[in-house]
Amino acid sequence: MTVLLVRDGREFLCEPGDELQTDLGVLEVPLDVEPGQSLETHLGEAFLVRRLRCPDLFHHLERTGAPMLPRDIGLLLGHTGIEAGDRVLDAGTGSGVLAAWMGRLDVEVVTYETNPEFAEVARENMRVADVEDAVDVRTGDVTEALDTLGGFDGLTLDTEDAPAVVERAEDLLEADGVVGVYSPFVEDARAVAEAARKAPLQGIETYETIQREMDFDDRGSRPTPTGVGHTGYLTVGRIK
């Protein structure tokens, strides 16, 4: 079981049996480590053991690119209604944060990544997230495998060829199946929406994902002038 060791806002991803070396001393992670424990370094400095939750995956899984932010994942899952027991076809795995997140929600995921090195990193990330049994990371182009795929409850796509996959939604999805596509540029989002209409899907909606963190200090309250506001576009739809 992978855990987080936390001290003064710093977080360290650790496995049972690991040796953590810090400026506060060396800490041996016991094999029977449990969340909620307090572990001390050889200098007597304490670290809190915390279990790995879904938002922690974004910050601590190894990255091969820019993964979807937790807010984008929340919007995708909220608008599609993907839930425990569903079977989802995912493409554009990247670091695998979305796939791991769904796996932790008891969703069965088949995810495609064209880059073999990225796919290997994603497989290791599934091990760290403890979802190896739920998430099948496949190396390859999902568009070349569409004729062999089907029986899914949802499609989640973060890839340039998303329109080609969305056009095949009726072949890939069960009745009442759902689609959620993350697009970095508005032109991509429009192409996805047009493909969804051809599919045909219903309830097609596209949102720009924007979030502003708030700053509160002695002078007053306002949105923070730093950080990422806009991230991308989310298009959702449902089989008629």
pLDDT (tens digit, 9 = 90+) per residue, 146-156? Answer: 999 999 999 99
38: CATH: 3.10.330.20
Residues 17-70 pLDDT 10s? 999 999 999 999 999 999 999 999 999 999 999 999 999 999 999 999 888 999
HEC sequence for 50-114: EECCHHHHHHHCCCCCCCCCHHHHHHHHHHHCCCCCCEEEEECCCCCHHHHHHHHCCCEEEEEEC
Domain, as residue range, for 24: 3-51
> In the chain, what percentage of residues exceed pLDDT 70?
99
Verify that 36 and 85 share a domain, yes or no: no
Work out how many domains the chain is built from and give that number.
2
Verify that 155 and 210 share a domain, yes or no: yes
Prior bond to 200 cis, omega within 30?
Answer: yes
Verify that 228 and 122 share a domain, yes or no: yes
CA atoms within 13 A on the CB side of 145: 15
Task: For 113-141, give the DSSP string.
Answer: ES-HHHHHHHHHHHHHTT-TTTEEEEES-
CA atoms within 13 A on the CB side of 26: 4
Residues 209-221 pLDDT 10s? 988 889 999 999 9
